[in-house]
Amino acid sequence: MGQSSRSVANLRRARIWLFLAALAVIFFALAQQRLAFVLGIVIFVFALLISVMLHELGHFLTAKKFGMRVTQFFVGFGTTLWSTFRGETEYGVKALPLGGFVKITGMTSMDEVDVADEPRSFRNQPGWERMIVLAAGSFMHFVLALFLLFVLAAGVGQAESTNVVSGVIGCVPASNLDLLNDSCTGASPGRSPAEIAGVKPNDKIIAVAGLPVRNWSQLESALQAQKAGRTVPIVVERNGRDVTLSVTLAYVPNHKGGFLGIDSAEVYQRSSVLGALAYAGDGFADTITSSASAIAKLPAAIPDLFAKDRASTPAGDISSVYGVGEVTGDVVEAALPWQAKVSVVLFLIASLNIFVGVFNLLPLLPLDGGHLAVVIFERIRAWFARLRGRPDPGLVDIQRLVPASLLVFAVLVGFGTLLLAADIINPVHIQV
């Protein structure tokens, strides 16, 4: 929205390539009969389209609110499939579902505007109104992200570990890092204390060394209080009966206390309205910070995009839309409880919206943040002119900024293409 016609055309071409890449992934997955994976991709693409449309809706609603002349609001790009007029605005659907666009009269000093329409043009409105319209797109991304995080906490619930055994680890990890990564590299498989003692899945541990435990936190504390190598009684509830097992806890370097060797079962606890609001706020703030960090890491990530150890470098923290779509497909396809799948997908979509919202506010043309910077510069310049008793210099000559805008756009497309290629050739796999 609001770019020169050339920039808008370039943006549409970039979206077309992303759409074709998504179709390629879907067809390839269908050929492999990965239906759950395809479902995940479809869910992500649909969520992405909704996100883009909400972005444009933010611009549309605020422009209408301030009485600006909005001539078009379309879903998709390309050939028009259907359209209708409501007042002065044409609403419609185009052939390629790659988002949408809204056209506001007189976005820049370059646009030709009929004399009769000039009073209602974007450029003729007060600076604060123009800034609200420009920021409304990112604002809608943030609102959507907060809503999804709220739904995650209040509707799906947050995972909490319990004192019920979901599985027995088949080794003593060689280090605390291996323990955290569920790795048995360099260890002796099949010799964890829990397995030797006969702990079984679905056992509920109710006491350790005489200390009662009612949840995972208490179980961890009880185990951390024991020294490695010590033999302690552990009471489990099994099939309605209490069974006492004698367990010799193992030593894991840098691990506090003795090592037992179990995975805990998880339950999903829904939050109250206030709890969900707090969770959404905390999650939003954390993701804002991580998004800013990811943007700062972009230049340093380029050399490692095709490295074998990409996941352990800054390049492992960034991904293209293609990469995030693949992760969504992997999550839906994984053998996980439905709550885990929905939670991960909702959080991915929320995080992507926050990242896009933050990125879009960067003071670079042709991003909305670049246009915001231009308006802010105009108002500061006008303020200095008033102090000096001079007339308002008016609008910035956007024609002079077009080369810089095209350069930034070329860099963004180039980096996006490189990131897309890396996600296809050298993807980052996550454990789900």
CATH number at residue 244: 2.30.42.10
Q: Which of 56, 220, 326, 378 is catalytic?
A: 56
* In a shared domain, residues 82 and 205: no
The pLDDT tens digits for 126-166 are: 999 999 999 999 999 999 999 999 999 999 998 888 999 99
Exposure string for 284-323, b = 16+ CB within 10 A, e = fewer: beebbeebeebeeeeeebbebbeeeebeebbbbebbbbbb
* In a shared domain, residues 348 and 409: yes
Of 340, 168, 143, 188, nearest in space to 261 by CA: 168
DSSP state of 124: G
Detail the DSSP E strand segments found in 326-386: none
Angle between helices 5-31 and 35-65 (to 10 degrees): 160
For 174, list phi and psi in degrees, rounded to 5: -75, -20
125 occurs within a structural domain: yes
303 occurs within a structural domain: no
* In a shared domain, residues 114 and 211: no
* In a shared domain, residues 91 and 122: yes
* The last residue of a domain, from among 242, 269, 296: 269
* In a shared domain, residues 131 and 174: no
307 occurs within a structural domain: no
342 occurs within a structural domain: yes
* In a shared domain, residues 214 and 257: yes
244 occurs within a structural domain: yes
Tokens of 213: 């435990």
pLDDT at 64: 96
Range of the domain at 394: 5-156+321-425
Q: Which residue has the tokens 């809608």?
A: 140
Burial of 242 from C-beta contacts in 10 A (0-12 / 13-18 / 19+): exposed
333 is catalytic: no
294 occurs within a structural domain: no
3-state secondary structure of 32: coil
For 84, list phi and psi in degrees, rounded to 5: -150, 155
Q: pLDDT tens track of the chain, all 432 residues?
A: 444 444 445 545 555 555 555 556 555 555 554 666 777 777 888 888 889 899 999 999 999 999 999 999 998 878 888 999 999 999 998 887 767 889 999 988 888 899 999 999 999 999 999 999 999 999 999 999 999 999 999 999 988 889 999 988 888 887 766 666 666 765 555 588 999 999 999 999 999 999 999 999 999 999 999 998 899 999 999 999 999 999 999 888 878 888 898 988 888 989 999 999 999 999 999 999 988 887 887 788 888 888 887 877 777 778 877 788 878 888 887 878 888 889 999 999 999 999 999 999 999 988 899 999 999 999 999 999 999 999 989 888 888 888 888 898 888 888 888 888 888 888 876 655
* In a shared domain, residues 148 and 203: no
Torsion of CA 128, 130, 134, 136, to 10 degrees: 60
* The last residue of a domain, from among 269, 286, 309: 269
What's the mean per-residue pLDDT of the chain? Answer: 85
Number of compact structural domains in the chain: 2
* In a shared domain, residues 9 and 136: yes
The pLDDT tens digits for 24-80 are: 655 555 555 466 677 777 788 888 888 989 999 999 999 999 999 999 999 887 888
* In a shared domain, residues 195 and 81: no
Report CA torsion sign: 57, 61, 66, 71. positive
* In a shared domain, residues 259 and 201: yes
* In a shared domain, residues 234 and 195: yes
pTM for this model (two decimals): 0.79
* The last residue of a domain, from among 236, 252, 269: 269
* In a shared domain, residues 200 and 229: yes
